[in-house]
Amino acid sequence: MKVDIANAISAYNEAARRLGAPGLEAPKSASPSFAELLKESAQGAIEVGKAGEQQTIAGIAKQAELADVITAVSNAEVTLQTVVAIRDRVIQAYQDIMRMPI
């Protein structure tokens, strides 16, 4: 079963509206380029890392709950692991392409 992302977002927004929660923005009609997708992903990973650092600093200053610090650091760790896994796959794909006979 193929699910259209715009329909899924619309359904989520409707459910969120009923619960009084914020919804999601609909995707742009034109698909982003691969470079834009990578740039947005990298920027998101950087923001998650910064949020983890800020929560850690706030925890050291006793301005944040321990659970919030642990959650932010865990999110940053998972994001870093994801970035490293993607990097490894890209390098592996490049090496596979270079090994192909001409």
In angstroms, the first-to-last Cα distance of the chain is 39
29 or 71, higher pLDDT: 71
Q: What does each C-alpha distance from 76 to 14, 29, 61, 64, 83 come to in angstroms? A: 30, 30, 20, 17, 10
Instruction: Looking at the structure, tell me whether residues 23 and 36 fall in a common domain.
Output: no
Residue labelled with tokens 């619309």 = 10
pLDDT of residue 43: 92
Q: 23-67: per-residue pLDDT in tens?
A: 666 555 567 787 888 888 889 999 999 999 999 999 999 898 999
- Number of domains composing the chain: 2
Q: What does each C-alpha distance from 15 to 2, 21, 62, 93 come to in angstroms? A: 21, 9, 37, 40
Instruction: Looking at the structure, tell me whether residues 2 and 47 fall in a common domain.
Output: no
Instruction: Looking at the structure, tell me whether residues 39 and 27 fall in a common domain.
Output: no
Instruction: Looking at the structure, tell me whether residues 74 and 44 fall in a common domain.
Output: yes
How large is the average pLDDT for residues 60-78?
91
Q: Is the pLDDT of residue 17 over 80?
A: no
Structural domain for 85, as ranges: 32-102
Rounded Cα distance between 36 and 14, Å, is 29
How large is the average pLDDT for residues 1-9?
66
Residue labelled with tokens 């870093």 = 80
